[in-house]
């Protein structure tokens, strides 16, 4: 499928970063088994100082992805860009790992924002998360804007917030225009992000899902590979890049195999 495609969209979720040590949300032991998603609504964040204190504490305890590095899945997706066949990466992740692995930032659309930045909700002043982390480490429980003392919020999408329109519009456009969408490490449970594989299929693209767990789009997919993202993507990109075209089978494949 990769060899006959030239506008490939890779769509990723938290499952592509678990092998970097960042827990996903809905697997056993995932973030929503430890924290209440209801605490992460924009309404609660704005409404109470207590909630803001709690959310900054959770974000700090979560390590704010301090020392995480890309894993072989991220590097394989960056390799795919070098072939000239990758149209873009659409990610729900906020960890910046696709860019760290080498994907061009202008080819990565972040539907749920990025933890690198913190923004003032009053004057839009921006701060690096590293700078804010230093303040939190010195015991400040709720950082506020140094310019206007407004509320500071990580530049990520909370529940109840609209997705950044530029990223969302681009994701829809590229999903509707690709010839292959590979969805990796997502339960495809959260909308409108989870519409992207549907838009791709509606536009006549092939759909491949690489995910340990089942997803609501499995029946729609041309191929489902229930295996770990890192080893699977590394083998696929190696296979594709193998001039002799050796075909060592990728484990866990089910669904209709395309005519070669």
Active-site residues, by number, are: 112
User: What is the token pair recorded at 46?
Assistant: 């704005």
User: What is the token pair recorded at 157?
Assistant: 């999408």
| Buried/exposed 168-182: b ≥16 CB within 10 Å, e otherwise | beebbebbeebbbbb
Q: Which of 13, 143, 154, 164 binds ligand APR (CB under 6 A)?
A: 13
Q: What track of x and - describes contact with ligand APR for positions 66 through 85 (by CB under 6 A)?
A: --------------------
Dihedral of alpha carbons 103, 212, 173, 165, sign: negative
Smaller CB separation from ligand APR, 148 or 189:
189
Which residue, 237, 91, 68, 231, is CA-closest to 157? Answer: 91
Find the shortest distance in angstroms from Cβ 22 to ligand APR.
10
- Segment interacting with ligand APR (CB under 6 A) among 18-26, 58-66, 137-145, 198-206: 18-26
Q: Are the C-beta atoms of 68 and 17 separated by less than 8 Å?
A: yes
Rg, Å, the chain Cα set: 19
- Segment interacting with ligand APR (CB under 6 A) among 53-61, 115-123, 169-177, 180-188: 180-188
Q: Cα(86)–Cα(89) distance, rounded to whole angstroms?
A: 8
- Name the DSSP class of 210: E
Q: Which of 6, 7, 26, 151 binds ligand APR (CB under 6 A)?
A: 26
User: Is residue 62 close enough to count as binding ligand APR by CB under 6 A?
Assistant: no
Smaller CB separation from ligand APR, 129 or 183:
183
Catalog residues that contact ligand APR under the rule CB under 6 A.
13-15, 18-19, 24-27, 30, 92, 112, 185-187, 189-190, 211-213, 228-229
């Amino acid at each position: 499928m990769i060899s006959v495609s030239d506008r490939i969209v890779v769509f990723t979720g938290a499952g592509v970063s678990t092998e970097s040590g960042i827990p996903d949300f809905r697997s056993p032991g995932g973030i929503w088994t430890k924290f209440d998603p209801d605490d992460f609504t924009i309404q609660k964040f704005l409404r109470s100082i207590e909630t803001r204190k709690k959310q900054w504490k959770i974000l700090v305890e979560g390590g704010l992805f301090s020392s995480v590095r890309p894993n072989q899945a991220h590097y394989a997706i960056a390799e795919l860009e070098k072939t000239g066949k990758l149209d873009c990466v659409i990610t729900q992740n906020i960890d910046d790992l696709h860019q760290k692995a080498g994907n061009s930032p202008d080819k990565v659309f972040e539907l749920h924002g990025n933890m690198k930045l913190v923004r003032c909700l009053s004057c839009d002043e921006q701060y690096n998360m590293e700078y804010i982390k230093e303040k939190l480490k010195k015991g400040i429980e709720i950082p506020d804007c140094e310019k206007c003392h407004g509320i500071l919020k990580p530049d990520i999408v909370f529940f109840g917030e609209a997705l950044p329109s530029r990223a969302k519009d681009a994701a829809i456009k590229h999903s509707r225009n690709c010839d292959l969408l590979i969805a990796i490490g997502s339960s495809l449970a959260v909308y409108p992000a989870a519409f992207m594989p549907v838009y791709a299929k509606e536009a006549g693209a092939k759909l491949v899902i690489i995910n340990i767990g089942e997803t609501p789009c499995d029946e729609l997919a041309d191929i489902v590979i229930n295996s770990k993202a890192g080893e699977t993507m590394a083998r696929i990109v190696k296979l594709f890049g193998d001039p002799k075209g050796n075909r060592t089978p990728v484990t866990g494949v089910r669904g209709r195999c395309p005519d070669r």
